[in-house]
Structure 1
Amino acid sequence: MISNKIKLQNFQLENEILKNKFMELKGKINSKESLKLSWSNWGFGIENLEDSIKRLKNNNLDYIELHGNKYSPDLGYSSIEVNKLLKNYDMKVSGVCGMFSKENDLSSNNPIHRQRAIDYIKRQVEFTAEVGGEYLLVVPAAVGRPVAYDDCEIERSIDSLSRVADIFVEYKIKGAVEPIRAAETSIIHTVAEAREYIERLNHPGIQHINGDIYHMQSGETHIGKAILSSGKSLVNLHMADSNRCALGEGSMDLDSIIMALYILGYNEGNKYVTPEPLGPGADPYPAMNGKNNPKDLDLLVKSSIDYFRFREKEVLSLLK
């Protein structure tokens, strides 16, 4: 007779370890305070910001992560206009998603491109403070350029960021380094690499991590373990399903992710879970300059938020 039981796969073993840690905290986890959900709006393209805020508010969101679109002094959001919208719709800014391409690349071998990245960060930090944001996402090298220029990119990136890091302290904004998968950028692909980068930079203004579970599935051995290894430095977590589409439309193990976040006490304080479903592709940046069907965006937001809250409720039911 053949047994119908088979040994667990490695990721399942890690899931069991994570679940046991979660259950050991029964009675200690503050399950009455839900995880704070935001939404990264740059995937909405050139849609009017007020329409985007309306959509998020209609889906019971209180936070928005704004597109870091101050690419020059004359471009991007006006903090005065943004604050009016925030007040009108009772919405808050979680943070700002910094956008780093080949033209404003902290690690570039072109000094002009490095200077553009420095100037860009100055504008974005000031704007983030003006609209009440908590963090600015920083990518150490250009997204959309997976091939390295040379072996000195990390050194140049750290040097560039160190020249502007004081402004984060001045404006009380958290600099959050985001690891990106190797298919999209040339350096800093894992949480461990981000932590090492932060340690080498050694500046109080850059002490946080912006995680992204879509990138984690490429760079990490286990997403839940990676989240736990981020510790208190994790300030924001971008979310998309395994296919980079709406939550619930792929095979991402959301339950383990939610457990890891509650183990960290991530539901307390100014820390955010931010869906950013951009769809598959090596370079998602063109999406920020396009025009999307509002009904498709409505469904994208609703299905993602509803599914996340459903899974969160299911996970927390284990503690009862």
Structure 2
Amino acid sequence: MTQNYEKKNKQIRKRFYELLEKHPDSFTKRLKFSWSNWGFGFEPLKDSFHRLHQADIRYIELHGNHYGKDLGYRVKETKQLLESYDMSVSGVCGMFSAENDLSSNAPGKRQAAIDYLKREIEFTKEVGGHYLLVVPGAVGRPQAYDDMELERSADSLLTVADLFQEYEIKAAVEPVRAAEVSFVHTVAEARHYIRKVNHKGVQHINGDVYHMQSEEAHIGEAILEAEDHLVNLHMADSNRGALGDGHMDIDTIIMALYLIDFHQKAAFVTPEPLGPGGDPYPAMHAKPDQEKLNYLVQQSVSYFREREEYLLNGGGYTKNQ
């Protein structure tokens, strides 16, 4: 007897191969593969570029590390590295802790989040990025302040919504699992939050399959639900490790992405294998383990491309499946 999740997998697989058979020309492009470098720890940006270039990865999601006006990646140096390594910026990973929390009940912490977003929006534009990740509440704080967090967060983000629109940068709202944040845990809740902000400059979602496996009924269906809102998808296997090292259903994720034409857009698949735990942010300050990081990158990109090509070449599918 088929289990419920298998029925959903089967339906996505059926739709994928029907579309592939009907419109094969629309599958000539491949999904854009990026990498989020903040998990590399405290290393020179050049080392990150070198590692990704060696793995034939052409997009990078940069750590949003402009925590103050004198901190973070410099535009000139970053653009020089992009040119030297023939790479482009997919987007910037916004980092939101209790110190810069859009939903905080301390006005100064909300102002810190607003000021931080202003710096990162400008940086994202200058380095050619497409999106800036926004977490509505602090990561590593799963306990709610009160029942007004969503309202305060939406009000804070609305303050900079005009800038997102002016700079043509997509505000990518990320749902995060309940073990790490106090609200906005699912795609449906992210869409509700976007409606709450109610601004053309805030219309997109950054998904994360590690969080989705905890919060969504089915990851593939959640991707389909996100539709055109989805601009980036963070990836890690079920153990938050390299792709292929756990039991995450990578095939269904890939097929769902093709069903929403993810490969046709300025949209990205971006591994972020951070390891398990309630607060992943300490990883950004860690001493880099070069051997481990090289393995994470090489294993993830090779496994993802292998599964993608397998599916696009039929994947053993027959119409009676």
TM-score normalised by the chain length of structure 1: 0.97
* Number of residues of Structure 1 aligned to a counterpart in Structure 2: 314
Pairs within 5 Å for 1:212-251: 212-251=208-247
Structure 1 stretches (4+) deviating beyond 6 angstroms?
Answer: none
- Shift of residue 293, structure 1, vs aligned partner: 1.3
- 1:124: which partner in 2? 120
- Percent of aligned pairs with the same residue? 61
Q: Secondary structure at the match of 1:164?
A: helix
| Runs of 5+ unmatched residues, structure 2 | none
Partner of 1:8: 2
Question: Cα distance, 1:307 vs. partner?
Answer: 0.3
1:212-291 to structure 2, matched below 5 A, reads 212-291=208-287
Residue 94 of structure 1 aligns to which amino acid in structure 2? S
Match status 1:27 vs 2:22: yes
Give SS of 2:125's match.
helix
CA distance in 2, matches of 1:79, 1:9: 51
The corresponding residue for 2:41 is 45
How far has the Cα of 1:31 moved from its partner? 2.2
1:292 to partner: Cα distance? 1.8
Partner amino acid for 1:302?
A: Q
Q: Following the alignment from structure 1 to structure 2, what is the Cα–Cα distance between the partners of residues 20 and 311?
A: 17
- Determine which of 177, 194, 197 is the counterpart of 1:181: 177
1:101 counterpart letter in structure 2:
S
Aligned twin of 1:4: none
Structure 2: distance between partners of 1:255 and 1:154 = 34
Question: Structure 1 residue 99 and structure 2 residue 92: aligned?
Answer: no
CA RMSD of aligned residues (A): 1.0
Structure 1 Cα separation of the partners of residues 29 and 55 of structure 2: 18
* Aligned equivalents of 2:173, 2:156: Cα separation in 1: 14
| Map 1:148-159 → 2, pairs under 5 A | 148-159=144-155
- Which runs of 5 or more residues in structure 1 are unaligned? 1-6
1:148-201 superposed Cα distances (whole Å, 9 cap, x missing partner): 000000000001111111110111100010000000000100000000110111
* CA-to-aligned-CA distance 1:217-251 (integer Å, 9 cap, x gap): 01100000000000011000000000000000000
Q: Aligned-pair distance for 1:27?
A: 3.1
Partner of 1:75: 71
Distance 2:33 2:281 in 1: 23
Amino acid of the structure 2 residue aligned with 1:267: H
